[in-house]
A and B are shown apart, each in its own frame.
Chain A
Amino acid sequence: MTSKKDEKDEENDLRGFEDFLKSHEENNRFLPRPSGTGSRRQESNFSRLTFLTNDRNRLMRTKILLNEKINLMSRFNQSEALLSLQESEKNDLKKKIFDLSDHAESPYRKSLREVFDVFFSHF
């Protein structure tokens, strides 16, 4: 008697879930646990965590740039000093090149002489 009563109770408990249970009859493991390594879910989580960490680093660098470095850049601007230094170096180099080229046996004059000799030799 008790076994029949239990069966009836079980049927009553499962009423309304028949369709859902039929769809899962083929699968023996009901609601299987996710398998351990290499699942897509874990991989995507890992990529999100990496993204968030990288994004945090990016945001920190941006914050330092906007709040600290820009203040220093505007207060102690080195651009003009660098430009004037480059200008004086360029002038020195030009002067040296001119000194080396401005005598009779210099490579510059030799090349010019060759060009003129070839051009005017026909006349």
Chain B
Amino acid sequence: MRVDFHQGFLNNKRMTLLFCATHFLSNDYREELTELLFDDLNIQNPVVFDLRSLSIDDQKKAIILIEDFFLTKNLSYNFPYPIYALTGYKDDSSGLTTLRSEREIPLFFTKISGKMNLKENNLKEKNALIQRQIKNTDHDRCSEVLKDYSYTHKKIYLEEQERLFYNSILLSLEKERR
């Protein structure tokens, strides 16, 4: 198992800002995941699981293992920071966000990390409080409401497109009538 931290990592964790952690998984991914996964995995920074060395079947199984860990504990793999699976292919069936390459990691999280000064450290301490509050919300209920909201609003968007289409026909008919 090789654990690497994207864009550098320094020893003193308290004084170091970490933007994105990358975990490379090998064929013993089941054992590695049991060591790596814990409740507060994504509380301070986004996490990337690099699964590209595994076969496609194993990649799917590893994704299911990661998802199950969070779902059974009523935790979110999107909040406060997202968990990504670097698979090399796009898999829309899983709830976990899958990436094809490192380039798809949001630029927001890929900055130069390093030791922080006092001001930055204070700001990070304040952020830690909000991160904890987000982590403590009922994610089961939130994800249900969000899913329902996104589904109905997609429906509203499609209905609106149809309405605009009829409206454009009516306008052109009225123009010709004049």
A residues within 8 Å of B by Cβ?
44-45, 47-49, 51-56, 59-60, 62-63, 66-67, 70, 73-74, 79-80, 82-83, 86-87, 89-90, 93-94, 96-97, 100-101, 106-108
Do B159 and A56 touch (CB < 8 A)? no
- The docked-state distance in angstroms from the alpha carbon of A61 to that of B18 is 21
Do A45 and B117 touch (CB < 8 A)? yes
Q: Which of B88-145 contact A (CB under 8 A)?
A: 108, 111-114, 116-117, 119-120, 123-124, 126-127, 130-131, 133-134, 137, 141-142, 145
B residues within 8 Å of A by Cβ?
17, 19, 79-80, 108, 111-114, 116-117, 119-120, 123-124, 126-127, 130-131, 133-134, 137, 141-142, 145-146, 148-149, 152-153, 155-156, 159-160, 162-163, 166-167, 169-170, 173-174, 176-177
Q: How far is the CB of B56 from chain A (nearest CB, A)?
A: 33
- The docked-state distance in angstroms from the alpha carbon of A82 to that of B123 is 42
| Pairs across A and B, CB under 8 Å, 12 listed | A48-B113, A62-B80, A66-B142, A74-B141, A79-B149, A79-B155, A80-B152, A86-B156, A86-B163, A87-B159, A90-B163, A100-B174
- The docked-state distance in angstroms from the alpha carbon of A50 to that of B162 is 43
Tell me the interface secondary structure of chain B in the complex: helix
- Choose among B19, B119, B173 the residue with the greatest number of A CB atoms under 10 Å from its CB: B173
- The docked-state distance in angstroms from the alpha carbon of A103 to that of B116 is 77
Do A66 and B134 touch (CB < 8 A)? yes
Assuming the contacts A97-B166, A97-B170, asked whether A79 and B152 have C-beta atoms less than 8 A apart, the reply is yes
Do A93 and B112 touch (CB < 8 A)? no
Other 5 A-B pairs with CB < 8 A, given A86-B156, A86-B163, A100-B170? A51-B17, A66-B134, A67-B133, A74-B141, A96-B170
Contact of B114 among A48, A86, A106 (CB under 8 A): A48
Contact of B156 among A47, A59, A82, A107 (CB under 8 A): A82
For B170, list chain A residues within 8 Å (CB).
93, 96-97, 100
Q: How far is the CB of A37 from chain B (nearest CB, A)?
A: 17
Do A49 and B120 touch (CB < 8 A)? yes
Do B130 and A63 touch (CB < 8 A)? yes
- The docked-state distance in angstroms from the alpha carbon of A82 to that of B158 is 12
Do B123 and A52 touch (CB < 8 A)? yes
- The docked-state distance in angstroms from the alpha carbon of A90 to that of B155 is 14
Do A66 and B163 touch (CB < 8 A)? no
Do A83 and B124 touch (CB < 8 A)? no
